[in-house]
Amino acid sequence: MAKTRIISWNINGLRACVRKGFMDWLENKPAEIVCLQEVRAREEQLEEKVKNPKRWNTHFVAAERPGYSGVGLYSRKKWDIIETATGKKEFDCEGRLQFMHFGELLIVNGYFPNGSGKNRDNSRIPYKLDFYKKVFRMLNKDFKAGKPILVLGDFNTAHEEIDLARPKGNHGTSGFCPEERAEVTRWLKAGWVDTFRHFHPDETGHYTWWSNRPGVRERNVGWRIDYVMASPGAMPYVKDATILPDVMGSDHCPIGVTVDNKIFSA
């Protein structure tokens, strides 16, 4: 059975991650499709070796605000179409989405907003929830039609207490507030599958983000806020889901799935 590996990684600034070894990691062929969040650079600000590395096809979306947000793609496979607009300026100006069509498979690379706001007052939670709902609605027709869809990226929400090291002290923190968790629950109840939990339903200690404070990552005091969500049309082709906590270079680590190549013609 021929397979394709797909990885998602919030690299917390591509130029900074490059200085920490990103290109070496990429050239070791970690996957056929690599989706990045929080690129924090316009394409013209990237070195040529980063913008157009050999044997990779690339695509970047930047926010209007300099040094903020942004998503990117490195792919061994050539896509058919990439779309980036939701039709709502308040979302599109932040450069948070790529809708990537590879044959029958739709991959959505998303950098979902943080809800904490400038003063950590949770003031951006309404914006965040509206973003979740907009993406959900945009995909609903294809989802109900049985199309294979993977929505991957930094969702900025830990769903259950098992998904963060210290849940008791964080119920009022954006990323673990009840209304944010309820939105993830809504996706799952509608039929979306959290691929990591599908393969590792009860395992603890698996996180994808750690604070930069000294010793936090070493002690594994983290949050699992990065996901690959699969539609029912995609799930039969998803063969495993992994978290790669030993890959350094960002405050997040990569996550990924391996899919049967039949997903591209499903």
pLDDT at 265 over 90: yes
How many Cα atoms within 13 Å fall on the side-chain side of residue 136? 17
In this structure, the number of other CB atoms found within 10 A of the CB of residue 54 comes to 6
pLDDT at 118 over 90: no
Q: Are strands 193-194 and 226-230 parallel, antiparallel or unpaired?
A: antiparallel
The Cα–Cα gap between 20 and 247 comes to: 11
Q: Which residue has the tokens 């591209």?
A: 264
Write the CA distances from 264 to 109, 133, 134, 203, integer angstroms. Answer: 17, 26, 25, 30
Comparing CA positions, the residue from 262, 241, 162, 138 lying closest to residue 194 is 241
> What pLDDT, on a 0 to 100 scale, did the predictor assign at position 189?
98
The helix (H) or strand (E) run that includes residue 188 is: helix 178-190
Residue tagged active-site, from 154, 163, 194, 226: 154
Residue 130 a catalytic site member? no
Find the angle CA(214)-CA(111)-CA(30) to the nearest 5 degrees.
75
Q: What is the mean pLDDT of the chain?
A: 97
User: Using one digit for the tens of pLDDT, what is the confidence trace for 10-62?
Assistant: 999 999 999 999 999 999 989 999 999 999 999 999 999 999 999 999 999 99
User: Using one digit for the tens of pLDDT, what is the confidence trace for 70-109?
Assistant: 999 999 999 999 999 999 999 999 999 999 999 999 999 9
Domain locations along the chain: 3-265
pLDDT at 119 over 90: no
> What pLDDT, on a 0 to 100 scale, did the predictor assign at position 29?
87
- pTM attached to this predicted model: 0.98
At the top level of CATH, the class of 3-265 is alpha beta
